[in-house]
Amino acid sequence: MLRFILKRLLITIPTILVVITITWGLIRLAPGNFYSGEKPIPKAIENNIREKYGLNKPWYVQYGKMMGHVLVLDFGTSLKYEGQSVNGIIRRSLPVSAAIGLSAYLLALLVGITLGSLAALKQNSKLDYASMALAMVGISVPNFVLGPILVLIFSLTLYWFPPARWYGFPSRGMVLPVLTLSGIYMAYIARLTRAGMLEVLRSDYIRTARSKGLSERQVVMRHALRGGLMPVVSFTGPALAFLLTGTVVVERLFTLPGLGNYFIQASLNRDEPLIIGIVSFIAITLLLMNLVVDIAYAYLDPRIRY
Amino acid sequence: MPLSKMNNNGNLLEVTDLRTYFDTEDGIVKAVDGISFQLKRGETLGIVGESGSGKSVTNLSIIRLVPTPPGKIVSGKVIFDGQNLLTLSNEAVRHIRGRRIAMIFQDPMTSLNPFMKVSRQLMEMTRLHLGHTKQQAYEHAIKMLETVGIPDARARANNYPHEFSGGMRQRVMIAMALSCEPELLIADEPTTALDVTIQAQILELIKRLKQATGTSVILITHDLGIVAGMTDHLLVMYAGKIFEQAPTKELFATPGNPYTKGLLRSVPDPTAEQGELYQIPGLPPDVAHLPPGCPFAARCDRVQEICHREFPPFVQLTADHCSLCHFAHEVYEESRAEGARSSESNL
């Protein structure tokens, strides 16, 4: 097991380097740069800027410098937010994204697993149809539609929650972003849970459990849930990584100072160090979460050994 | 002995006119359609039939494990030790399941929970029904695993099902089923998924444990070779009905039903120098759309016009030998004549 984890961690390193190289290349290929605005700037000033940031050097020198930053996990200074280190920006914005993301994640798990299990246990009942219809809506409605609708109802009509901005954790301001963010995950988890549970509930070992005289509750909690939730486990790892590292749309929608929002700004600004920093961070988190899922699988299913 | 155990003429189980139907898109499937039988304490009853004849559903109905919906026990009585299981509360039935009636299923590969250590799966039984503490249950589990012949049981108890071979898993299932000393053990094709050599071991084990504990057994199988040496009585099922019912020896010697005769002829006989093995022509009928007459008529080699028109009577041939056939007496007499001839030729 330990060998497996070490091996996986080692594989992670080249993967991240490839991701960063591609990102760096894409930034270079995109037209424009961080200092150009609507008005063209004089050639002399441009040369000074290029000199200052080392943009006049050959590409491999620039690439090497960037990689040097990545390898020590210190991504340098932002080009746009002058004087602010990239690490500082990530450190400041991550808690916002994580607070929203983790809350949305837990909510999605709680509601998704509950609804999915109930739907499976009462297959073809009204409850089953209602929750699966709801899940279908949740999957079909994109969050940039769901968000404004929620704002329209709960902020602008009912005045229950603020429509935007960050008010700290915990706060009423989190409610709408969390709901918007968790919607699709909730729906997806509900469907995965239902499908997984239905399959397990029909399996031979559940019939054995019933023939032992266990109550329906014991059959479900002790015997069915574990197998039924395996598909959910493999989905939730990457989902958690995405949620923690900020979701561009929701943070933009509710103007939250999270990682996702900075990521968009950095891309628009061609803020290379900030983009590289955030991409590296997201890539590392995603790969680690996948590793966590694999370890969890081995822990949950004794038949899987690495 | 408590009073309830004295009555019913020593019958542990009396099934009367049991009907279990499945509501499918194809129509109502009468998986079990009006069957009745009795089982005495300490006896072994064999239920034989082709796939889909209703043998498994019969036994799932007895302990009310038919998946509902689509299945439904439409009518009938299942009197177990004086109580009708079909009218008991769910709660009361749960106290009987596992404790007094235990089951072993066909496929030991999938019938144990793959996520749970074997010891826990066994402990669950005695903690639930006998009120064992964790420690007692653990010791009992190991004792049971030793009883069914699992070598090094103490170490193996902490393994997961996938770490056992098929035969060993079926032993674990048996250990689990017998851990509360049930009065009735229902074994649903317990050896079908196993190698032939392992089959014999498992059957021997069931036989030995049955003799040691006095448990009654219902053995479901499609293999006549298995029931011959194991059972006291036999039921032959076809299309949800009992086609023939008799003591095992009598049924083998003098079958009173063309279907039973067909089944017996399709067992390979190593002593006979026959060319091709006999097989009953055709396939079992679609139980959702049964014709009005005898369900076996289309495959029967002595079919008459009446067989297609009228449902056959359940004819009583001797005190405990019945057959569902318009020509039960004729078939029975034929079998007796054949039996007499073959014993003459053997002399």
Q: Is the pLDDT of residue B268 over 80?
A: no
Give me chain B's average pLDDT, please. Answer: 84
- Nearest residue on chain B to A299, judged by CA atoms? B115
Judging contacts by C-beta atoms under 8 Å, the chain B residues touching residue A301 are 114-115
Q: Which of A222, A209, A221 is nearest to B94 (CA)?
A: A209
Measured in angstroms, the CA of A1 and the nearest CA of chain B are apart by 18
Give the list of residues 6+ apart from residue B115 with CB closer than 8 angstroms, or none.
A226, A227, A300, A301, A302, B160
Please give the single-letter amino acid code of residue A290.
N
Question: Which member of A124, A204, A226 has the closest CB to residue B110?
Answer: A204
Q: What is the ipTM of this complex?
A: 0.83
Per residue in B276-326, pLDDT (tens digit) is 777 887 777 777 788 788 888 888 888 888 888 888 888 888 888 888 888
Asked whether residue A216 is domain-assigned, the answer is yes
CA distance B65 to chain A (A): 7
For residues B190 and A208, the answer to whether their CB atoms sit within 8 Å is: no
- A213 and B173: CB-CB below 8 Å? no
Residue A54 within a domain: no
The β-bridge partners of B71 are B22
- Please report whether residue A301 resides in a domain: no
Q: Is the pLDDT of residue B156 over 80?
A: yes
Domain for residue A200, yes or no? Answer: yes
- Minimum distance, in Å, between the CA of residue A131 and any CA atom of chain B: 20
Q: Is the dihedral of CA B108, B112, B116, B121 positive or negative?
A: negative
In the stretch 188-217 of chain A, residues with CB closer than 8 A to chain B read: 202-205, 207-215
pLDDT at B204: 84
The whole-angstrom separation of Cα A85 and Cα A92 is 11
Domain that holds residue A128: 96-257
Lowest mean pLDDT across B12-21, B65-74, B157-166:
B65-74
Q: What is the CATH number of the domain that holds A251?
A: 1.10.3720.10
Distances from the Cα of B271 to the Cα of B224, B250, B268, angstroms = 17, 21, 9
d(CA B322, CA A227): 47
- The residue behind tokens 């009654």 is B216
Residue at A178 is within a domain: yes
Query: Largest Cα–Cα distance of chain A, in whole Å?
Result: 86
Distance CA A289, CA A295 (A): 10
Closest-CA residue of chain B to A297:
B115
**Sheet containing B71-80: order of strands:** B27-40, B11-24, B71-80, B83-84
Chain B environment of A219 (Cβ under 8 Å): none
Instruction: Give the integer Cα–Cα distance in Å for B12 and B4.
Output: 10
The yes-or-no verdict on residue A51 having pLDDT over 90 is: no
C-alpha span between B14 and B39 (Å, rounded): 6
Q: How close, in Å, is residue B60 to chain A by CA atoms?
A: 9
Residue A120 corresponds to which tokens in the numbers above? 């499976």
Rounded Cα–Cα distance for residues B213 and B222 (Å): 26
pTM of the model: 0.77
Q: Does B2 touch chain A (CB under 8 A)?
A: no
- In which band, very low, low, confident or very high, does the pLDDT at B271 lie, cut at 50, 70 and 90? low
User: Does B105 reach chain A within 8 Å, measured CB to CB?
Assistant: yes
Does residue A157 sit at the B interface (CB-CB below 8 Å)? no
pLDDT digits (tens, 9 = 90+) for A235-292: 888 788 778 776 788 888 898 888 888 988 888 888 888 999 999 888 888 888 888 8
Phi, psi of B216 (to 5 degrees): -80, 150
**Residues paired with B186 in a beta bridge:** B103, B218
CB A228 within 8 A of CB A196: yes
Buried b (16+ CB within 10 A) or exposed e, B96-115: bbbbbbbbbbbbbbbbbbbb
Q: How confident is the model at residue B5 (pLDDT cuts 50, 70, 90)?
A: very low
**Is A163 within a domain?**
yes
Taking only Cα atoms into account, the Rg of chain B, rounded to an integer number of angstroms, comes to 21
Asked if B162 and A227 come within 8 Å (Cβ–Cβ), the reply is no
Q: State the smallest CA–CA distance between residue B261 and chain A in angstroms.
A: 34
Q: Is A136 contained in some domain?
A: yes
pLDDT at B347: 53
Say if the Cβ atoms of B65 and A211 lie within 8 Å. yes
C-alpha to C-alpha distances, B42 to A172, A288, B246, nearest whole angstrom: 70, 60, 17
Is residue B345 pLDDT above 80, yes or no?
no
Q: Is the peptide bond before A31 cis (omega within 30 degrees of 0)?
A: no
Residues A94-100 have a mean pLDDT of 89
pLDDT tens-digit series, residues A162-216: 888 888 778 888 889 999 999 999 999 999 999 999 999 989 899 999 999 888 8
CB of A302 less than 8 A from some CB of B: yes
Residue A49 has pLDDT above 50, yes or no: yes
Query: Cβ of A301 under 8 Å from any chain B Cβ?
Result: yes
B103 in A contact zone (CB under 8 Å): yes
Which residues 130-189 of B have a C-beta within 8 angstroms of A? 160, 162, 173, 176
Kindly state the DSSP code that residue A77 receives in the 8-state scheme. B
Residues of A in contact with B94 (CB under 8 A): 213-215
State how many domains chain A has.
Answer: 1
The verdict on A223 touching B (C-beta cutoff 8 Å) is: yes
Separation CA B141–CA B131 (nearest Å): 14
Best mutation target, B95, B111, B132, B164, to test chain A (most A CBs within 10 A): B111
Contact B63 A211 (CB under 8 A): yes
Residue A187 resides in a domain: yes
Q: Which of A207, A208, A302 sits opposite B115 (nearest CB)?
A: A302
Contact B160 A302 (CB under 8 A): yes
Between A9-18, B147-156, B284-293, the lowest mean confidence (pLDDT) is in B284-293
Which residue matches tokens 């826990």?
Answer: B120
Size of interface A-B (CB pairs under 8 A): 69
DSSP-derived letter for residue B4 is: G
